[in-house]
Amino acid sequence: MKSQQKKYMIEISQKEIEELRNSVKATSRKVMAENIARMKKTSKNRPKAMEYFDEVADLFGKREKEIQAAKESGKKVIGYMCLFAPIEMILAADAIPVRVNSGWYDTSKLGDRIVPVEVCPVIRSTIGAKMIGLSPYLELSDALISVLTCDGMTKLGEILSDYKPVWAMPIPRVKDSPQSLRFWRDGLLTVKGQIEALTGNKITRKKLKSAIEKTQRATKAFRRLQDLRKGNPVIMGRDAMLVNQTYMWDDITRWTEKTEALCDELEEKVRRKEWACSLDAPRVMVTGTPMIWPDNWKLPTLVEEGKPQGVLVADELCSSERLLYDPVGVDEWTMDDMLDAIGERYLMASTCPCFTSKDGNVDRINWILNKIKEWNVQGVIYYVVRGCMSYAMEYTRIKKVLDGINIPVYYLDTEYTREDVGQMKTRVEAFLEMLTARIDI
Amino acid sequence: MITAGVDLGTQSVKVVILKDGSVVGRGKAFSGFDPAKAAEQAMDEALMTANLSLSDLSHVTATGASMALAPKADSTVSMMGADAKAGIFLFPKARTIIDIGAEEARAVKCDDRGVMVEFVVNERCAAGAGAFIEAMARALEVKLEEMGPLSLKAERASPINASCVIFGESDVVTLIHRQESKPEIARAVFDAMADRISSMVHRLGVNPDVVLLGGVAKDVGFVASLKRKLGIDILIPEFPEFAGALGAALTAASKAERSQK
C-alpha cells in the first residue's frame, strides 16, 4: 500500500529511522543522567524533594508509560507548541496536555533535511524528533495545538500536519486593542469545539471551573517556588528550572503537590540558613529564547558551574518562569467570564516578542525590571539561538533600558550544538568575573 | 614580587614575567597540537630572558582559549579581564580596548576606574580576526607580513563581504577574476575586517582612548583601515601580541598581593 503523499516530510527507510532513534535516545539518556548528576554535585544541601522531579524529568520513563496507559483506557492526549494553548480547556475535556517542543540537539541536524539551517533550532529539532519518532509526548499526542506566534512555530504546525491533526490558533499581534481580545476569544471558542469533538467530552461550566481551579492551585505553588528565590539562594536555578519544565508534561495535580512539598522543605532550609551555594555568587537572570530539557541545558550549567560560580535566581523564559506565573483570574464563574479570563491570562500576560503594542513590547521590559528589583538580580544574560529573530531584534531596546539602571547585560548567541560550549564558557565566565568585580568595589 | 602570565591562544602561547610592575621577560611558542607543552616552552624562554627560575614566581595566572590546559597555573582570568588589565596598565586613559587574535576579536569597555563594565566578542566566526588575513594572503599568494604594506599602496577601495572567511575568499577570487590589483584586494580585505570590528566596537560606544591589542595590531594595513573606519587615533603598545599574557601577569600580581595581606 502506498503511503499518502506528504507535504513536507521526506521518505526515510524504517531501518534508518530505528537506527537514528536508538542512537539519539541512547545519547539523550546519557545527557539526562549527566545533567542530573551535575546538578546534584553543584547544589550544596540539595532538597530531597528534587528526587521526584529528577525522575519525572526522564523523558523516556514513568510518565511516558503513565500517559500510554491513560490513552489505552480511552483518554486523549493533546500536544501544544506554544504556551498559549488553553490548558484549562484540555483538562476540562478530561484530556492530557503535553508540550512537545524539542530540546534535543541531535534531531536539529535531522530537521536540516527539511528546512534550511537558518531556521531556529527549536523548530528544526522538533521536526527532526518527529522524523524519527523520538519524542514520546509528540508521538502520544492525538492532535496538536499550533499557536501561530513566530514564523517558525507557524510553519512547524504545517509540517507536523503531515502526521497529526493540527489545530492552528492565530494570535493577534497587537495586544492593546479591543478587537485583539475578541479575535483571540473567537479562536479559543474554535479550539474548544475541536477539543470537544476529539475527546467526545463537552466542556461544561462545572468542568471548566474545576480545571481553572486546578491550574490556579498549580500557579500558587509555582509562585511560591519563585518567591523563595528572592532571598539568599536556597535552591539552584537549574533545579528550579527543572521543576518549572516538568509542568509541561507531568500530571498537574501531582506536580502541584510535589512543588508544594518542595517549597515546604525550602522554607525549612531558609529557617536553618542552609543555602544552595556561596552567598557571594553573582545573581543572574536569563531572558530570551526558550531553553528546553534535556540537551539545551548548557547555559544554566555554565553559569552555575562557572569559575566564578553564578546562581540563576530568575528568568523570563516561556519554558520556565513564564509558564505559570500568571493565574487565570475569574470574577464570576459563568462560562463567559471564564472564557474571558482564560483569554486574558494567555494573551495579555504574555511577554513574548511576537507581540507589539503602542509602546512596543513594554510588558516584557516591565517583567524584566520587576524581576531585577524583586529578585535582586545583578546581571542579565540575553540568550538567543540563531534564527530566533524576534528575540534577537528586541535586544537593542532591552539593553538601553538596562544600561539606564546600570545592570550589565550580555548577549549570548548559540545553536543546538554541544561543540560551542568552550566558547560560551569563555564568555559566560568573563561576564561572571565582571559581575564579581563590580560587587567587590 | 615576581609573577607570570600565560596566554594560551588558539595559535600561539605567550608568557610575560612581571617584576615589581615592569616586564622582565617574554616567551612565545606555537600552540600546535600540545598547548600544555607549548606553554612550558614559552615559560622556559621567558624565564631565561629574565634570568629567573620557576621557583622565583609567587603566582602564575593563565588566560586564553586553552587556559584550562595551562600547567602549573595558580589561577585563571578571562581573556576580556586580561585585556582590560593590560590596556589600562599600558594606557591609563584607555576606555575602549580592542584585542584581535588569530581566531577571535574582542572589545572591552572600561569605566573611569579602569574596571571592565562591558564586552563584546565577534560572533563565532573568524572573519573579523587574524585567520581571515591569513586565508586572504594565501588566496593572493603573498606572505602574511606583506599584506599590510601592500594594501597601503592601493589607490582605491573595492568592497568585499567579510561575513565569513569562506565567502570572503570567494569574493576575493571574484576580484582576482576582475583583474583588480593585489594592493587593492589587500586593502579590500582589511577594510572588510575593519568594518566588522568597527560595528562591534560601536555596540559598546567608541570611547577614547581606544587601544588595539593582539597580534593583528602589528599589521599596518589593518590598523590604517581601522583608523579610517573609526575616524579616531588608536593607541598600540610595543608588544601587542603579549598583552593578554601581561594582563594575566598583572592579575597574578594583585592575587599574590591580596594573599600576602
A424 contacts chain B (CB < 8 A):
no
A400 contacts chain B (CB < 8 A):
no
Residue A81's pLDDT is: 94
pLDDT band at residue A244 under the 50/70/90 scheme:
very high
Cβ contact, residue pair A438, B115, below 8 Å: yes
> B60 and B143 in one domain?
no
Cβ contact, residue pair A426, B78, below 8 Å: yes
> B174 and B256 in one domain?
no
Domain residues for B19? 1-78+241-261
The strand pair at B210-213 and B22-30 is best described as unpaired
pLDDT one-digit tens code per residue, A17-57: 999 999 999 999 999 999 999 999 999 899 999 999 999 99
Residue A125's pLDDT is: 97
pLDDT > 70: percent of chain A: 98
Residue B51 C-beta-side C-alpha neighbours within 13 Å: 0
> B51 and B99 in one domain?
no
> B229 and B100 in one domain?
yes
Residue A2's pLDDT is: 47
Residue B104's pLDDT is: 86
pLDDT one-digit tens code per residue, B36-94: 999 999 999 999 999 999 999 999 999 998 998 998 899 999 999 999 999 999 999 99
pLDDT > 70: percent of chain B: 96
> B230 and B147 in one domain?
yes
B202 contacts chain A (CB < 8 A):
no
> B49 and B125 in one domain?
no
Strand partners, B5: B16, B61
* Nearest CB to A420; choose among B80, B117, B124: B124
Closest residue in A to B76 (Cα) is A307
| Among the ranges given (A79-88, A143-152, B148-157), the one the predictor scored with the smallest mean pLDDT | B148-157
Would the pLDDT of A341 be above 50? yes
The strand pair at B2-8 and B12-19 is best described as antiparallel
* Nearest CB to A423; choose among B77, B120, B124: B124
> B66 and B172 in one domain?
no
The ranges assigned to domains in chain A are 14-34+43-440
> B123 and B109 in one domain?
yes
pLDDT one-digit tens code per residue, A352-369: 999 998 899 999 999 999
Instruction: Number of A to B CB contacts under 8 A, please give it.
Output: 39
Task: Please give the C-alpha separations between residue A77 and each of A101, A144, A253, B144, in angstroms, as whole numbers.
Answer: 15, 9, 16, 63
A438 contacts chain B (CB < 8 A):
yes
Would the pLDDT of B162 be above 70? no
* Nearest CB to B116; choose among A420, A426, A434: A434
Cβ contact, residue pair A433, B81, below 8 Å: yes
**Residue B225, all three cell numbers:** 583601515
Residue B83 lies in a domain: no
A439 contacts chain B (CB < 8 A):
no
Closest residue in A to B125 (Cα) is A423
Query: Is residue B144 within 8 Å of residue B133, measured between CB atoms?
Result: yes
The CATH number for B109's domain is 3.30.420.40
According to DSSP, residue B179 is labeled T
The neighbour count for residue A372, using CB atoms within 10 Å, is: 21
Local structure of B59: helix, strand or coil: strand
A419 contacts chain B (CB < 8 A):
no
Residue B165 lies in a domain: yes
Cβ contact, residue pair A422, B65, below 8 Å: yes
Average pLDDT over residues B10-19: 95
| Distance to chain B for A434, nearest Cα, Å | 6
The neighbour count for residue B92, using CB atoms within 10 Å, is: 9
B78 contacts chain A (CB < 8 A):
yes
Task: Please give the C-alpha separations between residue A396 and each of A255, B88, B118, B124, in angstroms, as whole numbers.
Answer: 37, 28, 15, 20
**Residue A266, all three cell numbers:** 525550602
> B72 and B99 in one domain?
no
> B220 and B155 in one domain?
yes
> B248 and B174 in one domain?
no
Query: Is residue B245 within 8 Å of residue B16, measured between CB atoms?
Result: yes
Closest residue in A to B110 (Cα) is A434
Residue B84 lies in a domain: no
pLDDT > 90: percent of chain B: 70
Where does residue B179 fall: left (phi above 0), alpha (psi -120 to 50 degrees), or beta otherwise?
Answer: left
Alpha helices in chain B (DSSP H): 35-50, 79-90, 130-140, 144-152, 165-177, 182-204, 220-230, 243-260
pLDDT band at residue A164 under the 50/70/90 scheme:
very high
The mean pLDDT of chain B is: 91
* Nearest CB to A307; choose among B76, B120, B123: B76
Task: Please give the C-alpha separations between residue B235 and each of A26, B94, B129, B231, in angstroms, as whole numbers.
Answer: 54, 9, 18, 13
A423 contacts chain B (CB < 8 A):
yes
The span from the CA of A126 to the CA of A129, in Å, is: 5
Cβ contact, residue pair B78, A437, below 8 Å: no
Residue A147 C-beta-side C-alpha neighbours within 13 Å: 23
- Partners of residue A410 in chain B, C-beta under 8 Å: 119
Residue B50 lies in a domain: yes
pLDDT band at residue B158 under the 50/70/90 scheme:
confident
The span from the CA of A154 to the CA of A148, in Å, is: 5
ipTM at complex level: 0.82
The span from the CA of B216 to the CA of A436, in Å, is: 30
| Distance to chain A for B152, nearest Cα, Å | 34
Would the pLDDT of A441 be above 50? no
Average pLDDT over residues A242-270: 98
Cβ contact, residue pair A426, B65, below 8 Å: yes
Average pLDDT over residues A233-257: 98
Residue B85 lies in a domain: no
* Nearest CB to B78; choose among A422, A429, A438: A429
Rounded to the nearest 5 percent, the helix, strand and coil shares of chain A are 55, 10, 35
> B197 and B183 in one domain?
yes
B75 contacts chain A (CB < 8 A):
no
Residue B20 lies in a domain: yes
| Distance to chain A for B155, nearest Cα, Å | 38
Residue A377's pLDDT is: 98
A residues 290-349 lying closer than 8 A (beta carbon) to B: 307
The mean pLDDT of chain A is: 95
